[in-house]
Every structure is written in structure tokens, then in C-alpha cells.
Amino acid sequence: MYENRIEFDKMDFTQEPPVEEPQRQYYYIARARAYVKAESERLGRPLTCVVTTFGCQMNARDSEKLSGILRQIGYVETTEEEQADFVIFNTCTVRENANLRVYGRLGQLNRVKKKHPHMMIALCGCMMQEPEVVEKLQKSYRFVDLIFGTHNIYKFAELFVRRLESERMIIDIWKDTDKIVEDLPVERKYPFKSGVNIMFGCNNFCSYCIVPYVRGRERSRNPQDIIREIEHLVADGVVEVMLLGQNVNSYGKTLDEPMSFAALLQEIEKIEGLERIRFMTSHPKDLSDELIDVMARSKKICRHLHLPVQSGSTRILGKMNRRYTKEQYLQLVKRLRDAVPDISLTTDIIVGFPGETEEDFLETMDVVEQVRYDSAFTFQYSKRTGTPAATMENQVPQDVVTDRFDRLLTRVQEISAQTCSRFEHTIQNVLVETVNDHDSSLVTGRMDNNLLVHFPGNESLIGKIVPVKLTECKGFYYIGECV
């Protein structure tokens, strides 16, 4: 495990770089570090960087790895993008809007870079895995210094050095990989909670989704590596982990010694000092009875499950290649609720998938009525080039999509306000995360089910799990008092 123990300044990088990972990256970190040191001595100030993340929690975790490497290289993180010496965008391409935001932000940066030509700009993440995107960048965004993808993020230090030694835009994108590099530096955003990758990639190929194309084939980390990482995190003050994967329920299938996700959870549960376990995302088709059983018996797994339904119409689910029916989904919800009473369920829903009729949409509304989610992320279908759904006939007109989307959102929010209030006047354990932004006599924390609670307290509570009486529900959050 990487423990800030490597003495980069004493490393001899006049020799050839090692071939093995992660030693090779340590070598490049040392080289980059020498450059940053010389440069900041010349300027008489530290060099600064900004890591901007778009997209999901996987990307957020990847960004923590980028931050970890940048810190070891010698950069100091800042929030002032316009002043920074190094800016990196870790991009998302799951919906068209995600891409548009990146291009918008790049346009702004171009204006800044014209004034500060020494500024270095790097792009990485899912959007870079799309050849059309890279082509467009090469043509119209020549001011970008470095472009890499999702599979070679661990090579960031090496690519950085390559850019220093060349005057040209560096582009390195891999189609796929079967490699997982362990033990690189990470800079956590929160001292008390952390994401932990348990698997990478996705093999599901839901017909609307770009993720399998940009994140590659499914591969799981070895359980020993995961446990070791969590043990180190706990020793470093972490009390809550979020296990990350596009489909955590199929964890372990590709390992030399296959292991189920439920079995992994049981191992993680044993780690002393760890208090809360979360995970996402769960694909309904792979959610096993074994997992439900483990959740029911666990003292650490949070009573919350994000279970994306996407659509309530069995016909549309078929076209989406989700491989479950409306009835199977509802059955699953029933089994979960029987085993774990009070479990909070959240979901993702897509409106306007090609061919969706009013009847199909009403099936989705029906699932929402029946399940009564604590919250739901609702999305308008977005056409992703290269996915099967992009070429399907009967794309739904925008005005119809907007109308359905508004109806769905209204109902989701009404139900959510009602279900969330069911904990009013109970006592719940809350992990305190911050001093309240608006009122410094309050702190803000999260319940087991991820809902926010504001209550009187001070900084000393941050990172602690405390019992809180929930005095009032304010829709999507609570006001409480320590007991």
C-alpha cells in the first residue's frame, strides 16, 4: 500500500525508468517533482493546480488519484482555476449535456490561457475515449497540452513528463485494458469517508449507455487489495466507505478465484473500526438473495440501496437490454423490504427512450407509485453515438419528452417529501460531515439512508457518528438535536 513513504527527492532518475508498475510511476513522479521544484524556485512561489470532476463517483475517485499524484509532484491545489498553473478536467460523456459543459469550460480556459501562456491544460476521463471527441480537440482546441483516457490514468505522471519534454500536444488513449495498477498516491477529499473501487468497467451494454464503450470490460480488484486498502483508510481515520463499481452485484465473477459481492461484503464487515459500508451501483438483474440476506444481518451496511429501474415498462426494459421485467423488479423490491424493513430505496429513471409510448410512460409512473422511492434521479434520454439505441426508430419528440419528464419529476418529488418524513421524531445515527455553510452554530451530517440532517454542534464533531433526534423534516433534509 502506498503510504507517503517513498522518498521521491532521493530517487535516482538519471537511470532508465523501471518497467514494472507502480515503480515506473514513482520514477516519473520524482522526475516531474524535480521540474516543479525548479520552476517554483524560479518563480518564487508554489505552482498551483485545479482538478475539476464531471460525472459519477467513479470519476470523483479517479480525481482523488490525480490529486494524489499532483500533490506528490509538488503542486498545491487551489480553487482559482483562472490563476492555476495546471488545470485538469476529468470528463463524463454519459449524456450530451455532460459533453457540452466540458466544451463550454474549455472555451473559457482558452481565454485565460491567452493571458497566461504558461498554464498547462489536461483532459482525461470518459469523454476522451470517444474518437470523435479527440478529433475535435485536435482540430479546434490546440491549446490543450495533454489528453489521456480512462484506462491509463495511472500513467498520469509519465504522460506529464512526456509533455514537459515535448512542445506538442500529447495524446494517449487506450481502447481497453485488463490491467489494474495498485498502490498509487491518493488525496482524499474527506478525511472520514472514502470511495473504494472494487471493480472497473461494465459488461452490461444497456442499449442507451456509453459507459461500457468508454470504461471497457468488467474487471474486479482482488479482495485482498480491497481489504488492505480499507484497513489503511480506517487506520487513517475513515469510518465510512462507499464501494464503487458500475454493477457491484457482479463483483468477483472474473477473478481467478471467483467470489460473490455478498462474500466480499462479509469480509469488509469484519474490519475493525470501520462503521459504515455503502455501495453503488446495483443492477437489479444481479441482486442476489445472498446479498439481501447479508444486508439484513449486517450491522455496518447502510439501510439504503440505489436500485436503478430506468423504466417501468417491460417492453421498453427489453429494448434497453436491462434483462428484468417490471414484475421482477417489483418482486425484488418486495423481497428487500421484507428482509430490511425501513430500507431507503433510490433510483435512476430515463424518460423518452426511443419508442416509449404514453402507456410505457404510465408503467414507469406506476412503479414510482408502488415503490415510493426516497429519491429518484430522472433523466431525459440522450442519444449517444455508437450505442444501439442511437439508431433505433421512433425517437420521441422533445416536447413529448419534456411533458413526461415534468409529470414524472413532480410526482417523484411529492412522494419523496412524504417518504423522507417517515423518520420524523425518531433518533438516528448521523455521520457529521461539515459545519453548516449558512449557520456556523449548526453542523451537517448524513443518516444511514444518506439524508442530510442539520443540528447544533461544532467542528469537533466532524467525522464522528452521533445519535440525533430528528425534530423536523424539511422535505429533503432534517433539523435535529443531539441526544
Q: Is residue 211 involved in binding ligand F3S (CB under 6 A)?
A: yes
Q: Is residue 59 involved in binding ligand F3S (CB under 6 A)?
A: yes
- Using CA atoms of 155, 156, 162, 167 in order, give the dihedral in degrees to the nearest 10: 150
Residues 262-281 touching ligand SAH, rule: CB under 6 A, are 281
Which one of ligand SF4, ligand F3S, ligand SAH, none interacts with residue 316, CB within 5 to 8 A by kind? none
Tell me which of 67, 99, 247, 347 binds ligand SF4, using CB under 6 A: 247
Task: Assess contact for 240 and 276: CB atoms under 8 A.
Answer: yes
**Strand order across the beta sheet in which 344-351 lies:** 304-306, 344-351, 375-380
Coil, helix or strand for 160?
A: helix
Among residues 93 and 387, whose Cβ is nearest to ligand F3S? 93
Q: Is residue 93 involved in binding ligand F3S (CB under 6 A)?
A: yes
Residues 357-386 touching ligand SAH, rule: CB under 6 A, are 379, 381-382, 384
Rounded to whole angstroms, what are the CA distances from 70 to 119, 186, 193? Answer: 15, 9, 21
Contacts of 172 (CB under 8 A, 6+ apart): 147, 148, 149, 152, 155, 159
Pairing of strands 427-435, 465-473: antiparallel
Q: Is residue 56 involved in binding ligand F3S (CB under 6 A)?
A: yes
CB of 246 to ligand SF4, least distance (A): 4
Task: Assess contact for 17 and 38: CB atoms under 8 A.
Answer: no
Contacts of 462 (CB under 8 A, 6+ apart): 192, 432, 433, 434, 435, 443
Q: Is residue 457 involved in binding ligand F3S (CB under 6 A)?
A: no
Q: Is residue 205 involved in binding ligand SF4 (CB under 6 A)?
A: yes
Report d(CA 167, CA 456) in Å as an integer: 55
Which one of ligand F3S, ligand SF4, ligand SAH, none interacts with residue 109, CB within 5 to 8 A by kind? none
Residues 72-101 touching ligand SAH, rule: CB under 6 A, are 94-95
Task: Assess contact for 442 and 455: CB atoms under 8 A.
Answer: yes
CA torsion sign, 284 to 290 to 295 to 300?
Answer: negative
- What string marks each residue from 329 to 358 as x (binds ligand SAH by CB under 6 A) or -? -------------------x-x--------
Compute how many residues bind ligand SF4; rule: CB under 6 A. 10
Coil, helix or strand for 130?
A: coil
CB of 387 to ligand F3S, least distance (A): 12
Q: Is residue 319 involved in binding ligand SAH (CB under 6 A)?
A: no
Which one of ligand SF4, ligand SAH, ligand F3S, none interacts with residue 269, CB within 5 to 8 A by kind? none
Task: Assess contact for 127 and 99: CB atoms under 8 A.
Answer: yes
Among residues 247 and 416, whose Cβ is nearest to ligand F3S? 247
CB of 389 to ligand F3S, least distance (A): 15
| DSSP secondary structure code for residue 431 in this structure | E
Stretch that binds ligand SAH, among 82-90, 208-216, 448-456, 471-479 (CB under 6 A): 208-216
CB of 383 to ligand SAH, least distance (A): 7
Residue from 140, 55, 59 nearest 98 by CA: 55
Task: Assess contact for 481 and 471: CB atoms under 8 A.
Answer: yes
Tell me which of 155, 193, 215, 283 binds ligand F3S, using CB under 6 A: 215
Among residues 82 and 176, whose Cβ is nearest to ligand SAH? 176
Which one of ligand SAH, ligand SF4, ligand F3S, none interacts with residue 332, CB within 5 to 8 A by kind? none
List interacting residues with ligand F3S (CB under 6 A).
55-56, 58-59, 92-94, 126, 211, 214-215
